[in-house]
Amino acid sequence: MNKILVLGASGTVGRLLVRALVAQGQAVKAASRTGRAVAGAEAVRFDYADRATHAPAFEGVDRLYLLMPADSLAVEAFLLPAVALAAERGVKVVMQSMMGVEHDPAGAYRQVEMALESALARWVILRPNWFADNFHGIWAPDVARGDIALPAGEGATSFIDARDIAACAAAALCTGRFDNQAYTLTGPQALGYAQAAAVLSQVAGRRIGYTPVSDDAFVAALRSAGLPEASGRMLAGLFGDVRNGHTAMVSDGVEVLTGRPSRGLAQYAADYRDALRG
């Protein structure tokens, strides 16, 4: 009973976390809906929507990395049963939540956080800001086109490198020092999207601009790229916090958990130069 189950092992942070844990010699069960193989780990199937996959995935596990699939925030149907199973089996949970959710007790993320706090003996909540990695992930088509079009107004964001989130998660999973606490995780400096685009331009060797757009224009662009209207609206809603300055805060969470400062956007861009060049 000493394995770590990583949900979303195919995702932005999950992939990096599995790699970091395997490098430390931890026994890792890497979960995805397909159960695809992951080097150094035991691949398992886990689908929130398929309860039959839950108990086998939890077999031999004493720690769990839990995240919400961003496109289905089904708290009652998906997340709470997983939290209940962790509680029943005495599993410690480290949850990937989102910066600022503590201010919205009715929100999906805070509902899951509160379930952890009340049902589990050992939990850690990580609340990351927007990922720098979105620039070579969800915003990659904009970066490739040379125009990042978002409803972010002039708001600034202390983008966090997913490698830093993974390092924090590994620390939270592998020691008891951070148990029963919540940490806001940010990069070292808040930048507006125009400033961020300038950083990316320098590394990519071509001009990448930023165009502030309305929520409706943003949702329409996502819809024509194949994203459902509801997912687009949810993403657009999150940019209200950016425009209001709520994502500009800089925290010391990464340093507290890992003992070293967080990576800045320039470091991220240099390390992902090839992906950003397109």
Ligand X SMILES: NC(=O)c1ccc[n+]([C@@H]2O[C@H](COP(=O)([O-])OP(=O)(O)OC[C@H]3O[C@@H](n4cnc5c(N)ncnc54)[C@H](OP(=O)(O)O)[C@@H]3O)[C@@H](O)[C@H]2O)c1
Q: Which positions touch ligand X (CB under 6 A)?
A: 7-8, 10-14, 32-34, 46-49, 67-70, 96, 98, 128, 130-131, 134
Decide if 76 contacts 108 (C-beta within 8 A): no
Q: Measure the CA–CA gap between 263 and 159, rounded to whole angstroms.
A: 9
Q: Measure the CA–CA gap between 237 and 222, rounded to whole angstroms.
A: 14
List the structure tokens of 36.
């695809």
b or e along 35-47 (b: 16 or more beta carbons within 10 Å of the residue's beta carbon)?
A: beebeebebbbbb
Q: Measure the CA–CA gap between 258 and 234, rounded to whole angstroms.
A: 32
Q: Measure the CA–CA gap between 274 and 200, rounded to whole angstroms.
A: 11
Residue number with CB closer to ligand X (100 or 212): 100
Give me the least distance between CB of 161 and ligand X, in Å please: 11
Residue number with CB closer to ligand X (104 or 176): 104
List the structure tokens of 95.
């949850």
Residue number with CB closer to ligand X (55 or 121): 55
Give me the least distance between CB of 145 and ligand X, in Å please: 20
Residues 6+ apart with CB under 8 A from 231: 70, 71, 222
Give me the least distance between CB of 228 and ligand X, in Å please: 14
Give me the least distance between CB of 63 and ligand X, in Å please: 17
Residue number with CB closer to ligand X (13 or 203): 13
Give me the least distance between CB of 170 and ligand X, in Å please: 16
Q: Measure the CA–CA gap between 244 and 261, rounded to whole angstroms.
A: 26
Residue number with CB closer to ligand X (166 or 203): 166
Residue number with CB closer to ligand X (35 or 177): 35
Q: Measure the CA–CA gap between 127 and 125, rounded to whole angstroms.
A: 6
- Tell how strand 181-185 and strand 123-128 pair up: parallel
Give me the least distance between CB of 127 and ligand X, in Å please: 8
